[in-house]
């Protein structure tokens, strides 16, 4: 009699296979800067706190955070994007080189600044650091036609050796629908039609999208990982705690984008995975709902979800692993990552859970 593998055994094998896969990331590279100061006194000039500077760190954010998370999971990652010829850009490239991540697909732009999000944190010695304000430095214009072409060519070249493509679109111009279409022109191969996908031409590898404000403008996408607010914005609707409305919204997104998979993240309410004509799978948040910091959690989720799909996972399996990763990373301060070992330990600690409806 053949023993049916337990779900946890299957997930463990998927995690262990991560070092054998390669993922290309086309994304907006962001530098996340954290400046910490101890509260010194109240200013005489205005009713504001004076902070004594103690520490400054710059870590990969946005699409660069997705790259960083893939690398921590043991995946071979090939990033494509833009940085400015400035200190934040140099620090991003240095952090990638430190992890042996290739940087030939990341272009230095002389006239565009590296997107930098500076978070000012305040606190007393031995207390939690609280974010006081965030300052975003963004380029004044999108990449020109020449740079867009370079991004498309680099992506196309990397795809020859990749098992999946992750698209991280924060709206800064390095991961537009036009660049993606240009990159995939010669990658497209026909595959047999099926009841859910009648005819058409599709890529032979998963293409997973995270787009802040223009998800529905992309075509040829295999899977998407929006949060609930992004779904509400895309469909001009309000979901709230209405399960039937959530299911209807998910079905609408899948139909409009012709997706194989959809993962909607819902913060403390966990995630819901949609796959073809299968019933939606409601997954409660891993590790409890008392989160420490949600900064960059969406990047961790899409990185893990993409890695799992590239390793041969189905939608539900990939969603469970993304849920473990998301639950781990929100318990960390600042922009953080999840390692392959942490995922394995989480799986040992708690088997995958679902909620019935």
CA 338, 339, 343: angle at the middle one, nearest 5? 85
310-346 pLDDT per residue, tens: 999 999 999 999 999 998 988 887 778 899 999 999 9
Topology, domain 7-30+60-115+139-349: 3.40.1190
> Which pLDDT value is given to residue 3?
47
> Which pLDDT value is given to residue 322?
95
| Residue of 53, 76, 75, 80 whose CA lies nearest to 64 | 80
> Which pLDDT value is given to residue 336?
84
Residues 168, 324: Cα–Cα separation, whole Å: 20
Residue 203 a catalytic site member = no
> Which pLDDT value is given to residue 1?
38
> Which pLDDT value is given to residue 82?
97
> Which pLDDT value is given to residue 191?
40
> Which pLDDT value is given to residue 5?
57
**Element (H or E) spanning 87, and its range?**
helix 87-98
CA 171, 174, 180: angle at the middle one, nearest 5? 100
Given 32, 163, 169, 299, the catalytic residue: 299
Q: Edge to edge, what strands does the sheet with 223-224 contain?
A: 106-109, 76-84, 22-27, 164-169, 207-211, 223-224, 261-265, 271-275, 281-283
148-191 pLDDT per residue, tens: 999 999 999 999 999 999 999 999 999 999 999 999 886 554 44
220-237 pLDDT per residue, tens: 999 999 999 999 999 999
pLDDT bin (cut points 50, 70, 90) of residue 294 is confident
Work out the average pLDDT over 12-38.
96
> Which pLDDT value is given to residue 291?
57
From 127-141, 200-214, 252-266, the region with the lowest mean pLDDT: 200-214
38-87 pLDDT per residue, tens: 999 999 999 998 999 999 999 999 999 999 999 999 999 999 999 999 99
With contact defined as beta carbons under 8 Å apart, do 231 and 239 qualify?
Answer: yes
Cα 196 to Cα 192, 201, 314, 356, distances in angstroms: 11, 14, 16, 25
- Enumerate the domain spans of the chain: 7-30+60-115+139-349
Work out the average pLDDT over 286-292.
67
Q: 135 CB contacts (<8 Å, ≥6 apart)?
A: 117, 118, 120
Residues 86, 108: Cα–Cα separation, whole Å: 9
> Which pLDDT value is given to residue 333?
77
Structure tokens at 227: 């949060």
pLDDT bin (cut points 50, 70, 90) of residue 195 is very low
pLDDT bin (cut points 50, 70, 90) of residue 202 is very low
> Which pLDDT value is given to residue 287?
78
Residues 40, 296: Cα–Cα separation, whole Å: 30
Q: What is the mean pLDDT of the chain?
A: 89
79-113 pLDDT per residue, tens: 999 999 999 999 999 999 999 999 999 999 988 89
pLDDT bin (cut points 50, 70, 90) of residue 192 is very low
The pTM (predicted TM-score) of the whole model is: 0.90
Does the pLDDT value for residue 198 go beyond 70?
no
């Amino acid at each position: 009699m053949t023993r049916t593998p337990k779900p946890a055994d299957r997930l463990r094998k998927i995690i262990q296979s991560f070092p054998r896969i390669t993922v290309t990331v086309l994304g907006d590279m962001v530098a996340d800067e954290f400046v910490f100061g101890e509260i010194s006194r109240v200013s005489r000039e205005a009713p504001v706190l004076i902070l004594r500077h103690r520490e400054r760190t710059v870590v990969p954010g946005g699409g660069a955070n997705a790259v960083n998370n893939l690398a921590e999971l043991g995946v071979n990652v090939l990033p494509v994007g833009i940085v400015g010829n400035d200190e934040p850009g140099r620090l991003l490239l240095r952090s990638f080189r430190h992890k042996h991540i290739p940087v030939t697909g990341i272009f230095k732009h002389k006239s565009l600044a590296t997107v930098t999000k500076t978070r000012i944190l305040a606190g007393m010695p031995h207390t939690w650091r609280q974010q006081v304000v965030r300052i975003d430095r963004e380029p004044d214009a999108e990449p020109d036609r020449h740079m867009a072409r370079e991004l498309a060519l680099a992506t196309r070249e990397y795809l020859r050796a990749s098992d999946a493509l992750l698209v991280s679109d924060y709206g800064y111009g390095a991961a537009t629908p036009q660049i993606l279409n240009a990159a995939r022109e010669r990658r497209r191969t026909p595959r047999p039609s099926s009841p859910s996908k009648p005819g058409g031409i599709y890529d032979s590898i998963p293409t997973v999208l995270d787009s802040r404000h223009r998800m529905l403008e992309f075509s040829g996408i295999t899977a998407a990982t929006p949060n609930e607010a992004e779904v509400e914005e895309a469909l001009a609707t309000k979901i709230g705690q209405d399960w039937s409305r959530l299911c209807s919204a998910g079905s609408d997104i899948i139909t409009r984008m012709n997706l194989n998979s959809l993962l909607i993240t819902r913060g403390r309410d966990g995630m819901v995975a949609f796959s073809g004509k299968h019933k939606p799978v409601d997954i409660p948040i891993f590790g409890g709902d008392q989160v420490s910091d949600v900064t960059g959690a969406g990047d961790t989720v899409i990185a893990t979800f993409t890695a799992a799909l590239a390793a041969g996972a189905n939608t539900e399996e990939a969603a469970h692993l993304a849920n473990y990763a998301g639950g781990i990373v929100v318990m960390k301060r600042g922009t953080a990552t999840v390692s392959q070992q942490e995922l394995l330990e989480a799986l040992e600690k708690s088997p995958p859970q679902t909620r019935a409806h």
